Amino acid sequence: MRTSLYSTTLIAAWFLISALPSLQATELDSQESHQEFTTDVMPVLSKAGCNLGTCHGNLNGKGGLKLSLRGQDPAFDYHALVRASRGRRISVASPERSLILMKAVGEVPHGGGLRLDRESEHYEILSDWLREGASGPSGTAATLVHLEVSPIEAIVADPQSQVQVRAVATFSDGTIRDVTDTACYELSNLNAEVAPNGLVTRKKHGETTLIVRYLQKQQPIPIAFIQSRPDFQWQAPAPANEIDTHVFAKLQRLRLNPSAPCDDSVFVRRAYLDAIGKAPTSAEAKAFVTSENPNKRTELVDQLLQRPEFADFWALKYADILRTEEKVLDTKGVEVFHGWIRENIASAKPIDQFVRELVTSSGSSFDNPPANYYRANRDPSTRGETTARLFLGTRLQCAKCHNHPFDRWTQEDYYQWASLFSQMKYEGSDAKRQDDLDKNEIPGDETVLITKNDEVKNPNTSQIAPPKFLGGSQLSEDQQQSRLTELAGWMTSPQNDLFVKSQANFIWYQFFGLGVVDPIDDFRLTNPASNPPLMQTLAKELVKSEFDLRSLVAFIMKSQTYQLASEPNETNAFDHTSYSHASVRRLPAEVILDMQSDVLGVPAEFLGQEKGIRAVQLPGVLSKQARRKGPNDGDRFLKTFGKPDRILACDCERSNETTLKQVLMLIGEGLNERIVSPSNRVTELATSDRSDNDVVEELYWSALSRPPTETEMAAATAMIAGHNEQASPDENGTSNNRLVALQDLAWALLNAKEFLFRR
Amino acid sequence: MTFSAINRRAAIRVGGAGMLGMNMPKLLRAADQSGSIKPRAKSVIFLFQWGGPSQLDTFDMKPNAPEKVRSPYRPISTSAPGIQICELMPEMAKRMHHCSLIRTMTHTMNNHASAGYYALSGHKPPTDDQRLRDSLDLYPAYGSVVDHLAPNTNGMPTFVAYPHVIRDGSVVPAQHASFLGKRHDPLRFLEDPNDQSFKLPELSLPQGLSIDRLHRRREMQKLIDQQTKILEYSDRANGFDDYYQRAMSMLTSDRVRKAFDLSSEPEQVRDRYGRTTYGQSCLLARRLVEAGVKFTTVYFSASIGGRRVNEGGWDTHGFDNTRMYEIVNNYQLPITDQTLPTLLDDLEERGLLDETLVVWMGEFGRTPDINKNISRDHWPRCYTTLLAGGGVKGGYVYGTSDEHARMPAENPVKPEDLAATIFHLLGIDPLTEIYDRDHRPLVIGGDTIYDLFA
């Protein structure tokens, strides 16, 4: 409230100053009326959208005019507007004849349409500036030191549907200006819309983040539009730990009740799938559901964490983002790297140590497995980007070509960070490529050598970029001698907030499908945590456990938040960001394929892999054999269902989206063959002397971790009976009609959404 | 950018004198921006000539150039006044009144992989490198962008691509949806339309599975889904269920399957297209357009080729003691001169040509200087693309190359400008932004070439 009071007064002052020049421009002291390019003209260009990526801020400009992206380089823009094209874009003599103004007001056709109103204050600023001689950025101009926005966050309850944002800028000369009308506004999603004057209007109930941008500063404002619910009654399970405290506190503020806790058969299935990447067997599921032990959920969590499949499943996740892939690492490299990752998880190596070993590794990639980290990331830029993304939750890619438009990173930061990874080279073996034309293939052992002289240059200045920690200090001469060791120490310190939070967030994401900061590798001021105290708690817990993966997993899985049902209640159906109910997500490719194998008792096969290996245990992406001969059914299934190629160091490469092709594959190719296989579990059950009911029940428990409902049992047994009556000859010579019916039932179970989706 | 004098005059007529910087294209553009863009083409058939055809031996002959530059073949006049093309394409010559040529396509990528990616996506690759690797941070194929921004609602797939996945060592990027997501991938198949038994495995039921039985399975699946109400509260689960619905109708109804059934075409028609993989692929493309597919990509070949007279693409360097002109005149040009004119005729006879844009292009052209193997090497600086139907002018040439077709002399066109033009013709604003995996907003096209519009 403090700001709004103080900004009202400011507005008045600002009007006085800005209204004067147009009235008596000639009489005023030129210093008084002076429109400064960097602080007066630039905001107007930004506000009008001239320098956006779709317009003149595009890498190639538009219509022959290129401006710096979002006005990050005023000197460049000044040159483009005033000096370039022989100055034809401006006219100091008659400002209103200047091309830049005529285009903007639509007097001359403009690809970008109408950008300015001739009667507006912004038009006046530009024309004044032109009239005064269109002076360029001056060394004496004040610079922006602080941007204050209000409110800093907002919850807007019905019947209200709007919030007016204000922005106040403080300059180096002590000037303070209300810049509400000149600041740029952008929303993170379509839940609301924002007017040029900072008025945000709800379109849908839910949360959004407004980014306020003025000159080089940005501030986020989280806004939630909620229903009023005058008779709202808070209802929630008792918090099990601090996760629940923070999640529930937020839900209560938003007047949302969490869904009820999920039932036991949902929980047992969810816990198995999330922790170890497989569904419980029918015996395991039954035992859990029928157990009367009041602590059975926490005990189950503890048991799951000790199972060898935990290491398999989490090794898969880390192998994905560490680019464990055959073409670049060779089959042997993939095997040793994956083996090393898995072993570290099995032996509970602390995450910080694991990361230190990765980023300081060198030597033979066959003998020293973590050296594959640098074998996969082959140049300083890629190494820098990957390391920042995976271990600091930071996307630097944008800053390679221009200052990051949504973050604080400059191009200089980018190359100074890349410099940390510059002193490396590779020594190949004389192994032959399988396909000599495929230059992406790197066969045989390769040794990562640390060199002394290679440096990265900033392409803008052509100067060597001195190595510097991202957002930290420049390395001393001494430190530069052992850059990677220094980096590892700085990066993985418990005091390094970005490291701790990004690692905790990565783990959280595995369970909720949504990071507290989301996307999980995009920590920045303008992408705030959806629940900051929750983020803090997860980070604290990770440090407290000395970076132990299992401790944080247990902390998460034992929370009530994790154990909520996926079915929404009447208050929380529209919530997708505050964890009011469990998320429904299609399971990973490997998990679905393994579950099919488990239910059918027929392992899937992958070319060039040992028989019986589970998809989750596969060390790489595609074997040499599969590359040569073309993938088989198992390989194709994984690819179609979104197993990543592991070319990008990003969890986003794995896809859990759904496609038509996946369904065609589940109906036809592959799965059907496995279902009608004479040596599978379905045949075994069909030909056993167990009763129809018994057999149906068994299939339900093994596929869905639950018994059939009465309706389902009736339908399933009717199917069997129907087949017996028909004794149809069209079923391709199958004489056992119970078998045909059970095959159909098995197909239906393996295609049920509760089989394919985690809920 | 320069605009021709004719256009400037036209613009002044339309817009009145005294309007600085005014010209026809911008007027059109202004009109377009008043509302959504009116589609001029309903479908695109994109015929990709992998390997890089020579501009000098096809559509941009330079008969007056010195012997070491000019084609050994002569130019011939065509049905379009003032346009000459290579004498080895007499049939094509009779159809040039349907075609626009862009003789000033230009970029700087010398490798097949990077140039191919540029041509297929309209986006300049980060490096000019054969090792440019197909990954989700690279741009999607045109068809995938179309599927993302203007998907079909007629039950037919939006984007179909066949009968090859092209590679030069590694798979060339931009043949799928990349960061737009798998759901925008093309319906892609590698079966040969020239095979007697050509059909799509995806559109056939597995052996022993009758349609009745499939329905029974589906009914039981629905019953199970009802028990948990998951379809009522999960959009994702519900969305997946929609695909079952679509798959069932594709497998059980005739519409899609019929479109792919080449055997229902008269023998005579199949012969006219040529009994080659490419010929029958183009025939299939016409069937798909007829059935409502929006973007059909046909790859001429899987490999860059250039060393054999009966297979592969246009990459005729003369390596291994082969000779470009044995290969081009006995293989690529005869096929081209049989299939492309037939496709244009067939579309026209069916009244589809006006609404179907046919694009014929490679990833680059070939060196003006004939090399020591009496062949030509890669040349991205200046090459020719052919467009026909779908709202473009007939008998028109955009851009002029210099006297050796070495550089554009006037009106250079980058692949992103061609991309913008294709999108624009389909009614998609080329200024539309799509988002990559880093959530970076990226514009889909460059500057539309309005002069091509009929």
CATH number at residue B272: 3.40.720.10
pLDDT single digits (tens) A307-346: 999 999 999 999 999 999 999 999 999 999 999 999 999 9
Cβ-nearest to B443 among A54, A109, A676: A54
Residues B324 and B312: their CA atoms lie apart, in Å, by: 13
What is the average per-residue pLDDT within B338-347? 98
Are residues B233 and A567, on separate chains, in Cβ contact within 8 Å?
A: yes
Would you say residue A732 has pLDDT above 80? Answer: no
How much is the pLDDT for A59? 79
Q: Cβ(A307)–Cβ(A361) under 8 Å?
A: no
Contacts of A657 in chain B (CB under 8 A): 181-183
Give the pLDDT band (50/70/90) at residue A726. low
Start-to-end Cα distance in chain A: 43
In the prediction, which pLDDT does A460 show? 85
Same domain, B149 and B296: yes
Q: How far apart are CA A82 and CA A61, in angstroms?
A: 16
Across the range A418-422, mean pLDDT stands at 96
Same domain, yes or no: B228 and B343: no
One domain for residues B371 and B442: yes
| Closest-CA residue of chain B to A720 | B216
**Range scoring the smallest mean pLDDT among A55-69, A141-155, A540-554, B307-321:** A55-69
Q: Say yes or no to pLDDT of A3 above 60.
A: no
User: Best mutation site among B211, B223, B227, B240 for testing chain A: the one with the most A CBs within 10 Å?
Assistant: B240
Residues of B in Cβ contact (< 8 Å) with A102: 20
What is residue B4's predicted lDDT score, i.e. its pLDDT?
Answer: 37
| Most A CBs within 10 Å, among B167, B178, B182, to test the A interface | B182
User: What is the number of other CB atoms lying within 10 angstroms of the CB of residue A307?
Assistant: 14
Task: Specify burial of residue A512 (Cβ count, 10 A radius: 0-12, 13-18, 19+).
Answer: middle
User: What ipTM goes with this model?
Assistant: 0.88
Does pLDDT of B419 surpass 80?
A: yes
Residue of B nearest to A671 (CA): B206
How does residue A724 score in pLDDT terms, banded at 50, 70 and 90? low
More confident residue, A431 or A213: A213
CA B346 to chain centre: 18
Question: What's the pLDDT at A754?
Answer: 97
- Average of pLDDT values for A56-68? 86
Each residue's pLDDT tens digit, B303-337: 999 888 888 999 999 998 899 999 999 999 999 99
- Segments forming the whole domain that contains residue B221: 202-258
Burial track B179-217 (b if 16+ CB lie within 10 A, e otherwise): bbbbbbbbbbbeebbbeeebbbebbeebeebeeebbebb
Using 50, 70 and 90 to split pLDDT, how confident is the model at A12?
A: very low
Residue of chain B whose alpha carbon sits nearest to that of A715? B220
Instruction: Give the gap in angstroms from C-alpha A255 to the nearest C-alpha of chain B.
Output: 20
Q: Are A454 and A423 in contact (CB under 8 A)?
A: yes
Judge: B246–A660 Cβ closer than 8 Å, yes or no.
Answer: yes
Which 3 state secondary structure label does DSSP give A627? helix
Could A648 and B210 be called an inter-chain contact, meaning their C-beta atoms sit closer than 8 Å? no
Cα B38 off chain centre by: 21
Q: What domains, with CATH codes, occur in chain A? A: 34-131 (no CATH), 144-226 (2.60.40.10), 264-306 (no CATH), 350-492 (no CATH), 676-758 (no CATH)
pLDDT 10s digits, A636-686: 999 999 999 999 898 889 988 899 889 999 998 789 999 999 999 999 999
Q: How far apart are CA A574 and CA A187, in angstroms?
A: 18
Q: Cβ of A660 and B236 within 8 Å?
A: no
- A37 vs A18, A89, A125, CA distance in Å? 15, 16, 10
CA distance A758 to A385: 32
- Is A668–B201 a contact, with Cβ atoms under 8 angstroms apart? yes
Instruction: Kindly state whether residues B174 and B30 are assigned to the same domain.
Output: no
Question: What's the confidence (pLDDT) of residue A725?
Answer: 54
CB contact under 8 A, B169 and A438: yes
Q: How distant is the Cα of A462 from the closest Cα of chain B, in angstroms?
A: 19
Beta-carbon count within 10 A of A49 CB: 17
* Percent of chain A predicted with pLDDT > 90: 76
Answer whether residue A171 shows pLDDT above 80. Answer: yes
Q: Whole-angstrom Cα distance, residue B138 to residue B156?
A: 27
Q: Are residues B337 and B376 in the same domain?
A: yes
Task: Write down the pLDDT at residue B421.
Answer: 98
Spell out the residues 6+ positions from residue A661 whose beta carbon is closer than 8 angstroms to its own: A640, B182, B185, B187, B202
A699-713, A729-743, B230-244: which has the minimum mean pLDDT? A729-743
Cβ–Cβ gap A661/B440 under 8 Å:
no
In the block, residue with structure tokens 């398999």: A312
The helix/strand/coil state of A692 is helix
What Cα–Cα distance (Å) separates residue B127 from each residue in A327, B118, B204? 20, 11, 42
* Spatial separation of the C-alpha atoms in residues A208 and A611, rounded to whole Å: 50
Amino acid occupying residue A13: A
DSSP 8-state assignment for residue A588 = P
**B109/B170 same-domain check:** yes
Q: Which phi and psi (to 5°) does residue B167 adopt?
A: -150, 155
The reply to whether B2 and B72 lie within a common domain is no
**Distance separating alpha carbons of residues A71 and A52, to the nearest angstrom:** 8
Taking CA atoms, B365 is separated from A58, A317, B383, B386, in Å, by 28, 44, 5, 13
What is the pLDDT at residue A440? 84
**Boundary-marking domain end, from B213, B237, B258:** B258
Closest CB from A109, A660, A704 relative to B30: A109
Q: Hey, CA dihedral for B38, B40, B42, B47, is it positive or negative?
A: negative
- Which of B210, B229, B258 corresponds to the end of one domain? B258
HSE-up (13 A, CA, CB side) for residue B385:
33
Peptide bond into B430 cis (omega under 30): no
Total structural domains within chain B: 3
d(C-alpha B261, C-alpha A688), whole Å: 44
Closest chain A residue to B416, measured at CA: A60
Three-state secondary structure readout of B72-101: CCCEEECCCCCCEEECCCHHHHCCHHHEEE
Q: Encoding tokens for residue B433?
A: 């932004």
CA distance to partner chain A, nearest, from residue B420 (Å)? 13
Residue B10 and residue B29 share a domain: yes
CA–CA dist A204, A549 (Å, integer):
38
Q: What's the confidence (pLDDT) of residue B20?
A: 34
| Mean pLDDT across chain B | 90
**Residue showing tokens 């992958």:** A606
Q: Do A669 and B206 touch (CB under 8 A)?
A: yes
pLDDT, tens digit (0-9, with 9 covering 90-100), for A491-535: 999 999 999 999 999 999 999 999 999 999 999 998 999 999 999
Cα Rg of chain B, angstroms: 23
What integer pLDDT is reported at residue B9 of this predicted model?
A: 33
Interchain CB contact of A440 with B (< 8 Å): yes
Provide, as residue numbers in chain B, all residues whose Cβ is less than 8 Å from the Cβ of A669. Answer: 201-202, 206
Question: Do B290 and B249 sit in the same domain of this protein?
Answer: no
DSSP state for residue B312 in the 8-state scheme: S
Strand ranges across the sheet with A166-171: A144-150, A166-171, A176-178
> Confidence class of residue A32 from pLDDT cuts 50, 70 and 90?
low
Going by DSSP bridges, is the β-strand pair B400-401/B408-410 parallel, antiparallel, or unpaired?
antiparallel
DSSP state of B205: P
CA distance B350 to B338: 19
Q: Are residues B238 and B293 in the same domain?
A: no
Residues of A whose CB is below 8 A from B181: 655, 657
Give mean pLDDT, residues A220-238.
Answer: 94
Q: Do A648 and B213 touch (CB under 8 A)?
A: no
Question: Rounded to whole angstroms, how far apart are CA atoms A611 and B405?
Answer: 58
Q: For residue B25, what pLDDT is reported? A: 40
- B100, B98, B91: which is closest to B341 by C-alpha? B91
Q: Are residues B57 and B164 in the same domain?
A: yes
Per-residue confidence (pLDDT) for residue A432, from 0 to 100? 86
Three-class SS of A146-206:
EEEEECCCEEEECCCCEEECEEEEEECCCCEEECCCCCEEEECCCCEEECCCCEEEECCCE
One domain for residues B232 and B379: no
For residues A259 and A567, the answer to whether their CB atoms sit within 8 Å is yes
d(CA A359, CA B364): 41
This prediction has a pTM of: 0.85
